[in-house]
């Protein structure tokens, strides 16, 4: 159950009628958020992923019934009136730009190799083709998702960069590290790892093995990843949607439906990321809460100082609070996130982090 490691055999295909059946729904959901954010008129806040929308193309063919995916077919201003769309778009602005900056740093620091785990519709190998030309780049993902990705890349971009190798892996039955090595990966090189939208879906043992593998690389190697704290995973697992205020039930149910076949199963100890990483010879460089005031200031604020969608968020939160009060319930207390109330557990402990492999001689 393998595919070739290059895109040569599909680079001439121009078949846009690719079936997305079997493709990760969450990979489509986050890719849609990046694609919509790439239409933001203000370059100070615009999502830099200008390619992912071309890879997705027609939202009706994506087999994901969610407002964010449907919004791909709407003008930007209209799409951003929907609070679910807006929230996802801002989240992706933060996530994409944080990872882009980490990748740029890694290349400047002498990385020789980039490994993108659970690549989905990641576009770094294509958007950063010039900066990565002298590096080996590997995209690792499930065969079904990767097969569609490769066809799309062939159709939209005419093929992948020559330094990119696709590594299809059946994670349930294969050791991805062995398969990666078989495709030409060299664990002796300084490497930059991207784990975007990956850790929360990994069983604890697999997550530990992954970070341990990263930690075996030469000092100066680095990893960027997003994660949640374990209480958020536990809360989602036992969440009774019927117990939520009525206005909050539909979006939460849509989220649960989205991850039904890809459940969140792993989280880090609350505020314990630094200690967790040290177990694997990794030193935390930075952690940033997605949705925090700092994250919005850095990555989702327009040139005039206005956060993306601030007025729409305020109006939506006000309307929700009124509907909750009208139902005789108390609105959730406001939390530190500029995205609004604590009623959305997936967001409140959602973090980004960058870590480097420690110098073992120190």
Q: Given a cut of 70, is residue 6 above it in pLDDT?
A: no
- Asked whether the beta carbons of 180 and 2 are under 8 A apart, the reply is no
- Could you tell me the two tokens for 29? 């959901």
81-97 pLDDT, tens digit each = 999 999 999 999 999 99
Non-local CB neighbours of 306 within 8 Å, separated by 6+ positions: none
DSSP result, 226-291: EE-BHHHHHHHHT--GGGS-GGGHHHHHHHHHHTTTS-----BPTT-HHHHHHTTTEEEEEEEETT
Nearest CA-CA partner of 23 in 228, 197, 262, 236: 262
- Could you tell me the two tokens for 349? 């402990």
- Asked whether the beta carbons of 46 and 38 are under 8 A apart, the reply is yes
290-338 pLDDT, tens digit each = 999 999 999 999 999 999 998 888 776 776 667 667 766 665 544 333 3
Q: Given a cut of 90, is residue 272 above it in pLDDT?
A: yes
- Asked whether the beta carbons of 29 and 65 are under 8 A apart, the reply is no
In this prediction, residues 5-9 reach a mean pLDDT of 28
Degrees, nearest 5: CA angle 206-210-215 = 145
Nearest CA-CA partner of 120 in 184, 52, 70: 52
Measure Cα distances from 42 to 58, 140, 304 in Å. Answer: 25, 33, 10
- Asked whether the beta carbons of 352 and 273 are under 8 A apart, the reply is no
Measure Cα distances from 257 to 79, 217, 227, 253 in Å. Answer: 21, 38, 20, 6
HSE-CB of 182 using CA atoms within 13 angstroms? 14
Non-local CB neighbours of 63 within 8 Å, separated by 6+ positions: 20, 21, 23, 25, 28
Going by the DSSP 8-state scheme, the letter that residue 334 receives in this structure is B
- The pTM (predicted TM-score) of the whole model is 0.88
Domain ranges of the chain: 297-346
pLDDT band, residue 1 (cuts 50/70/90): very low
pLDDT band, residue 11 (cuts 50/70/90): very low
């Amino acid at each position: 159950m393998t595919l070739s490691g290059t895109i040569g055999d599909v680079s001439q295909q121009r078949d846009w009628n690719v079936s997305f059946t079997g493709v990760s729904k969450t990979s489509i959901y986050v890719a849609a958020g990046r694609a919509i954010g790439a239409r933001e008129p203000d370059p100070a806040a615009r999502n830099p992923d200008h390619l992912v929308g071309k890879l997705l193309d027609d939202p009706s063919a994506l087999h994901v019934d969610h407002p964010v995916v449907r919004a791909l077919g709407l003008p930007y201003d209209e799409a951003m009136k929907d609070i679910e769309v807006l929230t996802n778009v801002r989240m992706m602005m933060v996530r994409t730009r944080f990872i882009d900056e980490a990748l740029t740093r890694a290349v400047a620091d002498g990385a020789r190799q980039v490994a993108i785990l659970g690549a989905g519709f990641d576009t770094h190998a294509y958007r950063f083709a010039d900066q990565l030309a002298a590096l080996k780049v590997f995209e690792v993902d499930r065969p079904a998702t990767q097969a569609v990705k490769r066809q799309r890349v062939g159709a939209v971009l005419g093929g992948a960069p020559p330094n990119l190798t696709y590594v299809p892996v059946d994670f349930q039955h294969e050791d991805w590290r062995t398969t990666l090595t078989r495709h030409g990966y060299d664990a002796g090189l300084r490497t930059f790892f991207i784990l975007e939208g990956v850790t929360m879906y990994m069983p604890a043992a697999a997550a530990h093995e992954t970070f341990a593998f990263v930690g075996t690389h030469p000092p100066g190697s680095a990893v960027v990843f997003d994660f949640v704290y374990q209480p958020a995973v536990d809360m989602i697992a036992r969440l009774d949607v019927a117990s939520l205020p009525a206005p909050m039930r539909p979006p939460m149910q849509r989220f649960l439906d989205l991850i039904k076949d890809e459940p969140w199963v792993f989280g880090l100890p609350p505020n314990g990321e630094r200690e967790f990483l040290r177990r694997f010879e990794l030193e935390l460089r930075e952690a940033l809460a997605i949705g925090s005031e700092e994250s919005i200031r850095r990555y989702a604020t327009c040139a005039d100082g206005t956060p993306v969608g601030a007025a729409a968020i305020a109006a939506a939160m006000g309307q929700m609070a009124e509907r909750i009060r009208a139902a005789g319930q108390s609105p959730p207390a406001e939390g530190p996130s500029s995205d609004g109330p604590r009623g959305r557990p997936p967001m409140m402990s959602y973090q980004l982090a960058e870590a480097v492999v420690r110098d073992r001689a120190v």
